[in-house]
Structure 1
Amino acid sequence: MTIRSLISVLSQQEDLNFLLTNRVPRAALTRFMGWFSKIEQPVIRDLSIACWRLFSDLDLSEARKQSFKSLHDCFTRELKSGARPPDPDPAIVVSPCDAIIGAHGSIADTELFQIKGAGYSLADLLGDPALVDAHRNGRFITLRLTSSMYHRFHAPFDGRIEQVSFICGDTWNVNPIALKRIERLFCKNERAVIKTRLSTGEALTLVPVAAILVASIRLHFLGRVLNAQSRGPATFRCDVPVRKGDELGWFEHGSTIIVLAPDHFAFCDNVAEGERICAGQPLMRKPA
């Protein structure tokens, strides 16, 4: 048995996986990784990336560059020009990121779910009564980024970003094992609520959720990184026009983005739980 296959077997042992990725000092480990990943010493950088390859399916063939200053530089890598073209159909809302599709469906009044049988509320997730009303009985989809994926995220549709709210919280792992065991996990973790309005007027909200080792979210249009060390206002009013496919920011590692859309939007045929999707590929269709 190879080392990689042994790691795969161990990762499927739910009790062990949960213990190793959650029953640890999550905040301290996350702060340490934030510091460690930015070390630019060549030996540390090369050993870190080699170890990362060993534990994952990391593929750098699409990366714009093949030489990185640090582990963090590799985490937040850009892709070659044209690697993620957004679907040109003006009725299509595209995926904002590379991801594995998780729970998705209709919001029952204000209730949605992280996995089947494990619900949570829009009020707990968003903390904004007006935004809760905007998405009442709407649609939701959960997009989970793994550690080896492309970590930048993009505008899913033409529109304007009106507000960003940063909500401090924990750094639980967001893998399916943790989602089965931790109630309302997304509502407990650190997250940003990005309120947008499409060019056609409908509300579309993105909720990037941080996790262990990744409690930092960079938003280009704000010119800042949001994390546990953030100081100042928790809500940022803005009026930023975006086009479908524009880069909005990145996670420092891997995590989750929850997309909230109006009830008359329909999921595209390629959307199925457990399937992989790339940034720019069809996610939802807006009816004519």
Structure 2
Amino acid sequence: MRIFDRSGQELIVNQRQNQLLKFLYSHFLGRCALKVLTLPFITHIGGCYMNSRFSKRKIQPFIQQNQIDMSQYEKQEYSCYNDFFTRKIKKEARPICMEHDLLIAPADSKLTYYPIHQDTCLTIKDTVYSLSDLLKNQSLAQEYDGGTCLIFRLTVDDYHRYCYIDDGTKEQDIYIPGIFHTVNPVANDYYPIYKQNSRSYSLLHTQHFGDVIYMEVGAMMVGKIVNHSKTSFQRGEEKGYFEFGGSTIVVLFKKDIVVIDEDIIKNSQNNDETRVLMGEKIGIKR
């Protein structure tokens, strides 16, 4: 799977994480290690470490390895790795498109587009699952037949806070427990991903895009989802953030609601992803 920016340029992908995941999912010893890594008490220990001052030593090497421009962020000093991982970006670094007929990206991420058809399954790198499996709600899934599914995959170098895509009100969050597994696409070649991940979703009653399902998916090693408790929201307002771990956002629209930008559709049809930034235009209201 390749990644392209909005100008059509292919981005260079750091293969180190892919190589580690390939070992974990394709090698016998790797799979044995994976069973240990995904035990609840192991993920708890990992979370405690990432919240401790001892994890600070990992921050600077990570910044250098991923060439992160820290001038875009509000803070320059961090108490632990999770403090750094959930850092806030300056507003001017992520301007929000405020034209309400335009659909915006909720997060910095790698985006894939899928049309939703009746009785069909969504496929991500050989992992196949139905929408009803993902939501654990068949009747709700049927309401989105003929609609649009957008999958925003966040990697560890991405900005891990995400926003609302429109004005509106929100129903209560639905939490689905699961086993933590990484969202890196290499992992999908060997293990069913989304059926095994913890996830949280809510039904958003938006002013311009109808009833939208907005789901956050956790990942291997902690993968904690932190959502702010609000019943009403505005376009561009922060919805929540992920603590340490690559994570994913899934957004579902009903039939005849949105038209996704052509470059995103083309890349998705070629099994490639599109790099998008929080707040930028990715489609238009139909």
Q: TM-score range by the shorter chain?
A: 0.7 to 0.9
Match of 2:202 in 1: 194
- Three-state SS of the structure 2 residue aligned to 1:275 is strand
Structure 1: tracts of 5 or more residues without a match: 1-6, 223-239
Report the AA paired with residue 48 of structure 2.
W
Q: Of 164, 173, 176, which aligns to 1:155?
A: 164
- 2:255 counterpart of 1:263: yes
Q: Of 87, 91, 107, which aligns to 1:81?
A: 91
Hey, what's the Cα distance between the residues in 2 that align with 1:10 and 1:251? 19
- 2:275 counterpart of 1:284: no
Cα deviation 1:224-245 (Å, max 9, x = unaligned): xxxxxxxxxxxxxxxx221110
- 2:242 counterpart of 1:251: yes
Hey, what's the Cα distance between the residues in 2 that align with 1:14 and 1:47? 23
Hey, what's the Cα distance between the residues in 1 that align with 2:82 and 2:16? 27
Q: Offset of 1:161 from its aligned partner?
A: 1.0
Hey, what's the Cα distance between the residues in 2 that align with 1:38 and 1:12? 27
- 2:49 counterpart of 1:36: yes
- Three-state SS of the structure 2 residue aligned to 1:163 is coil
Distance 1:171 1:74, change over 3 A: same
Cα deviation 1:245-271 (Å, max 9, x = unaligned): 000100002211111112211112342
Q: Offset of 1:30 from its aligned partner?
A: 2.1
Hey, what's the Cα distance between the residues in 1 that align with 2:69 and 2:24? 23
Confirm or deny: 8 A CA contact 1:208 1:257 kept in the other structure: yes
TM score, norm. by length of structure 2: 0.82
Q: Of 90, 106, 110, which aligns to 1:96?
A: 106
- 2:214 counterpart of 1:206: yes
Cα deviation 1:203-225 (Å, max 9, x = unaligned): 11111110112331111126xxx
Q: Offset of 1:37 from its aligned partner?
A: 1.1
Distance 1:95 1:9, change over 3 A: closer
Pairs within 5 Å for 1:120-135: 120-135=129-144
Report the AA paired with residue 49 of structure 2.
F
Pairs within 5 Å for 1:206-225: 206-221=214-229
Hey, what's the Cα distance between the residues in 1 that align with 2:91 and 2:169? 24
- Three-state SS of the structure 2 residue aligned to 1:196 is strand
- Three-state SS of the structure 1 residue aligned to 2:175 is strand
Match of 2:37 in 1: 25
Hey, what's the Cα distance between the residues in 2 that align with 1:148 and 1:138? 31
Q: Of 163, 180, 187, which aligns to 1:171?
A: 180
Hey, what's the Cα distance between the residues in 1 that align with 2:274 and 2:95? 19
Hey, what's the Cα distance between the residues in 1 that align with 2:23 and 2:126? 23
Deviates more, 1:132-141 or 1:56-65: 56-65
Confirm or deny: 8 A CA contact 1:99 1:143 kept in the other structure: yes
- Three-state SS of the structure 1 residue aligned to 2:132 is helix
Report the AA paired with residue 97 of structure 1.
A
* Cα RMSD after superposing both structures: 2.5
Match of 2:189 in 1: 180
Q: Offset of 1:163 from its aligned partner?
A: 2.4
Report the AA paired with residue 89 of structure 1.
E
Hey, what's the Cα distance between the residues in 1 that align with 2:68 and 2:47? 19
Match of 1:234 in 2: none
Confirm or deny: 8 A CA contact 2:150 2:250 kept in the other structure: yes
Distance 1:173 1:116, change over 3 A: closer
Q: How many residues align?
A: 260
Q: Offset of 1:56 from its aligned partner?
A: 3.8
Structure 2: tracts of 5 or more residues without a match: 1-13
Report the AA paired with residue 192 of structure 1.
S
Confirm or deny: 8 A CA contact 1:37 1:72 kept in the other structure: yes
Match of 2:7 in 1: none
Report the AA paired with residue 257 of structure 1.
I
Hey, what's the Cα distance between the residues in 2 that align with 1:276 and 1:128? 30
Q: What's the % identity of the aligned pairs?
A: 26
Report the AA paired with residue 283 of structure 2.
M
Match of 1:228 in 2: none
- Three-state SS of the structure 1 residue aligned to 2:134 is helix
Report the AA paired with residue 210 of structure 1.
G
Hey, what's the Cα distance between the residues in 2 that align with 1:76 and 1:96? 16
